[in-house]
């Protein structure tokens, strides 16, 4: 790009329409029929299946790959959906490089695992494109369940409960259903409005009513739901965003990375999205990577991720870190935000302090560095907002700031289960883990209701 082509400050329309289309195209294009057969043939169909052990939803990976290899993609899709009804999205967004593909025997032997994620997408896409449903509702039970949150956990719970013949009402605070899959995933990981298509596919089983624009603690209340329904499942995720705890962080130009990603996902015209010329992202997880990479793809000239610990401590996988580097993002470690510098109320730079470990404790060294920035994104984690439980805190026990549940997802409040990011034992806030939690809680609810 020619010198001087970038507009100063935060601006929109930095790139041409063709550049936007190219930058936000599918990160992992789908396999065609021949490619899928060739890739499936690489699987050893291991007896002990370490890939299956690494999958939070315990999909029978060797079986679904063998079904692809024998020309049965619909059978393969059913094997996947039996365990993970949101297998299509998980195929796109799961960090397979740290889950099933990392455990693949070919990864250990050759450094090149079977592309399990792309094979899963091949099979599930085939079923969804054909409109093939594999499940019918059981005979009506007369039982009703309220599900709070139409994200991965809530949708997985609703589908499994509907399969058992229960009537499910899903309350979702946002205008669209899908939760993280709709609002929180990088646009290049889920293209062509796939999140909406998956919600339609999941709810097509019947027996599921979704009410959007209904927030817990505002439009609906937990104690009332517990009275009106036979059971309640809470899967509302995380609504709070952690603060930088740096001076001046209220300056114009400092924003939450999750809001930025959400706005980008909902944008009908990427050229209308403003982005800074010099962007700094604070954090070391997947959200930080997504915000940084997408800033670069929108036309930012310089994008820097600053993380308070070392590379080995980052929650973002090595693949995600490499993806950021490949897109021109600089990642700097061992530094934490100290002060946002503003001119006329708008951010112009950020002062960071170098950090070091003193035993197990992270401390500041006193040495600082100032980076020029006209936009700063906070990506240092989200938190559960217990106020939504509207006075039920005395009976809904919390642990580490989130809802405490037992092994089956039961909370301390009778008739109420929970799962996904809002619970204390959530596994790294992964979509696939939320699906597993919703599915398993639904089975527990079914057992409880049917005796």
In this prediction, residue 7 carries a pLDDT of 43
Place of tokens 């979704």: 210
Give the β-pairing of 302-306 and 278-282. Answer: parallel
CA distances from 449 to 136, 209, 298, 429 (A): 20, 20, 50, 29
Q: Please state, in angstroms and rounded to a whole number, the distance separating the CA atoms of residues 17 and 223.
A: 50
The pLDDT tens digits for 119-177 are 999 999 999 999 999 999 999 999 999 999 999 999 999 999 999 999 999 999 999 99
Query: Which of the four pLDDT bands, split at 50, 70 and 90, describes residue 2?
Result: very low
In this prediction, residue 191 carries a pLDDT of 94
Place of tokens 């994008």: 303
- % of the chain surpassing 90 pLDDT: 90
In this prediction, residue 428 carries a pLDDT of 65
CB atoms under 10 Å from CB of 253, counted, come to 20
Closest among 439, 403, 435 to 418, alpha carbons compared: 403
The pLDDT tens digits for 378-402 are 999 889 888 888 776 668 999 988 9
Q: Is 394 left (phi over 0), alpha (psi -120 to 50) or beta?
A: alpha
What average pLDDT is seen over the chain?
94
The pLDDT tens digits for 416-446 are 999 999 998 766 678 999 999 999 999 999 9
Query: Which of the four pLDDT bands, split at 50, 70 and 90, describes residue 5?
Result: very low
In this prediction, residue 4 carries a pLDDT of 38
The pLDDT tens digits for 278-306 are 999 999 999 999 999 999 999 999 999 99
In this prediction, residue 23 carries a pLDDT of 96
Q: Classify each residue of 6-39 as buried b or exposed e, where b means 16 or more C-beta atoms within 10 Å of its C-beta.
A: bbeebeebbbeeebbeebbeeeeeebeeeebeeb
The pLDDT tens digits for 47-102 are 899 999 999 999 999 999 999 999 999 999 999 999 999 999 999 999 999 999 99
In this prediction, residue 393 carries a pLDDT of 61
pTM above 0.85, yes or no: yes
Contacts 24+ apart (CB under 8 A), 29-34: 30/118, 30/121, 30/122, 30/125, 31/115, 31/118, 31/119, 31/121, 31/122
Domains of the chain are: 33-129 (1.10.1060.10), 144-239+384-450 (3.50.50.60), 241-381 (3.50.50.60)
Q: Average pLDDT, stretch 207-216?
A: 97
């Amino acid at each position: 790009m020619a010198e001087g082509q970038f507009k100063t400050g935060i601006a929109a329309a930095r790139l041409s329409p063709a550049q936007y289309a190219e930058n936000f195209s599918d990160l992992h294009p789908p396999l065609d029929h021949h490619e899928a057969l060739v890739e499936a043939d690489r699987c050893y169909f291991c007896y002990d299946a370490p890939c299956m052990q690494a999958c939070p939803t315990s999909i029978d990976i060797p079986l679904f790959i063998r079904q692809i290899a024998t020309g049965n993609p619909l059978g393969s899709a059913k094997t996947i959906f039996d365990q993970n009804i949101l297998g299509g999205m998980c195929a796109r967004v799961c960090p397979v490089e740290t889950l099933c593909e990392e455990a693949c025997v070919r990864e250990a032997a050759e450094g090149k695992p079977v592309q399990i994620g792309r094979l899963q997408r091949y099979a599930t896409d085939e079923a969804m494109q054909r409109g093939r449903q594999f499940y019918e509702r059981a005979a009506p039970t007369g039982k009703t369940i309220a599900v709070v949150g139409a994200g991965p956990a809530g949708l997985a719970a609703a589908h499994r409960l509907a399969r058992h013949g229960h009537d499910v009402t899903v309350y979702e605070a946002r205008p669209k259903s899908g939760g993280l899959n709709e609002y929180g995933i990088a646009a290049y990981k889920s293209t062509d409005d796939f999140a909406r298509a998956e919600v339609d596919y999941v709810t097509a089983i019947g027996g599921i009513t979704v009410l959007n624009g209904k927030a817990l603690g505002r439009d609906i209340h937990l104690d009332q739901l517990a009275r009106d329904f036979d059971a309640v499942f809470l899967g509302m995720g995380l609504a709070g965003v952690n603060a930088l705890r740096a001076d001046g962080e209220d300056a114009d130009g400092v924003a939450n990375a999750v809001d930025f990603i959400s706005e980008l996902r909902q944008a009908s015209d990427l050229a209308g999205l403003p982005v800074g010329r010099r962007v700094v992202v604070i954090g070391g997880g997947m959200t930080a990577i997504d915000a940084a990479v997408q800033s670069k793809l929108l036309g930012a000239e310089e994008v820097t991720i600053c993380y308070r610990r070392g590379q080995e401590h980052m929650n973002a996988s090595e693949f995600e870190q490499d993806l950021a580097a490949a897109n021109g993002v600089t990642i700097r470690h061992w530094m934490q935000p100290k002060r946002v510098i503003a001119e006329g109320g708008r951010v112009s730079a950020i002062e960071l302090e170098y950090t070091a470990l003193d035993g197990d404790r992270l401390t500041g060294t006193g040495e600082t560095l100032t980076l020029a920035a006209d936009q700063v994104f906070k990506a240092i984690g989200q938190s559960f907002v217990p106020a939504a439980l509207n006075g039920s805190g005395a009976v809904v026990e919390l642990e580490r700031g989130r809802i405490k549940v037992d092994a089956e997802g039961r909370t301390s409040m009778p008739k109420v289960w929970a799962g996904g990011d809002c619970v204390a034992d959530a596994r790294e806030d992964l979509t696939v883990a939320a699906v597993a939690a919703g599915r398993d809680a639904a089975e527990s609810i079914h057992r409880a209701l049917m005796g």
